[in-house]
Amino acid sequence: MLEKFKAAASYIQDITELKPTVGIILGTGLGGLVKEIEIQHEIAYGDIPHFPVSTVKGHSGKLIFGNLGGKSVVAMQGRFHYYEGYSLQEVTFPVRVMKFLGIKNLFVSNASGGVNKAFEIGEIMILNDHIDLFPGNPLIGKNYEELGPRFPDMSEPYSHLLIEKAKEIASKHNIKISQGVYAGLTGPTLETPAEYRYVHSIGADAVGMSTVPEVIVARHMDIPCFAISIITDLGVPGKIQKVTHQEVIQVAAKQEPKMTLIMKELISSI
């Protein structure tokens, strides 16, 4: 695997001289941040050695290189999910490659279901912790000391410093935000009412099908992380309704400009 990470990074470095310091992973319906990037190069996932290919509607499948907020960035326009049939190691492969490209911080966005009774559809939630409910861990298997320790600390999965800066930016622009715990499940089914109650009972405020594996791998490599979620549906008793993937995309897209503003200014501030 280590050689595969290096081969993918080497291929990319032969195409672009840009050395990104910030990695960005864009979630379902949240690809609009790319419009803010002064793009220098675009590389299709399918062209990169050993790279998975996204199969989900709303995920374009390109690495975007350019400048955002005065910083050199690499953005994943489309991510990979365990439910697509990939292993957790494959899901997190791009984060490993980003490390070899030189990123110092990782920014992640996602769409999720809210289980906090105070939440409404369209709520913007900054992740301050997570609960890993995936059937495994991307770090299972051989550990490469070149990447990180066998037993990485997870006492600060999401950077306290970045969270505080994001709160200041949101306040400056009168953007309502919440903070909360994100539970990561496999999908692809949306949760049953009983599963929503279970997730809430163990301490989560929102539930989704991504983010947790990527953050685990980033923290294994000592990369500070910031993640933001848009609540696209509710798993709260009395508010649960049938929801489609298209509706999730629509809600995410509506709130995206606010998320984009926070992310852009936050990246500029670091």
Q: Which two tokens stand for residue 227?
A: 């993640």
Q: What is the pLDDT along the chain (270 residues), one digit of tens a residue?
A: 899 999 999 999 999 999 999 999 998 777 788 899 999 999 999 999 999 876 665 556 889 999 999 999 999 988 899 999 999 999 999 999 999 999 999 999 999 999 999 999 999 999 999 999 999 999 999 999 999 999 999 999 999 999 999 999 999 999 999 999 999 999 999 999 999 999 999 999 999 999 999 999 999 999 999 999 999 999 888 888 787 878 888 888 888 999 999 999 999 999
- Rg of the chain's alpha carbons, rounded to an integer? 17
The pLDDT tens digits of the residues spanning 107-117 come to 999 999 999 99
Q: Which H, E and C letters describe 221-232, residue by residue?
A: CCCCEEEEEEEE
Distance CA 143, CA 129 (A): 24
Are the CB atoms for 13 and 97 separated by under 8 Å? no
| Cβ-proximal residues to 145 (8 Å cutoff; 6+ apart), any chain | none
Distance CA 45, CA 112 (A): 25
> Which residue, among 211, 260, 250, has the nearest Cα to 68 in the 3D structure?
260
Strands 178-184 and 71-77: unpaired
> Which residue, among 163, 168, 81, has the nearest Cα to 125 in the 3D structure?
163
Three-state DSSP at 193 gives helix
167 phi and psi angles, rounded to 5 deg: -65, -40
Q: Which two tokens stand for residue 95?
A: 């984060």
Question: Domain segments of the chain: what residues?
Answer: 2-269
C-alpha separations of 227 from 91, 129, 192, 193 in Å: 17, 10, 25, 26
How many beta carbons lie within 10 A of that of residue 4, not counting itself?
15
The pLDDT tens digits of the residues spanning 37-50 come to 999 999 999 999 99
Class of domain 2-269: alpha beta
Chain centroid offset of residue 213 CA: 9
pTM: 0.94
Please report the pLDDT score of residue 56 as a whole number. 61
Length of the chain: 270
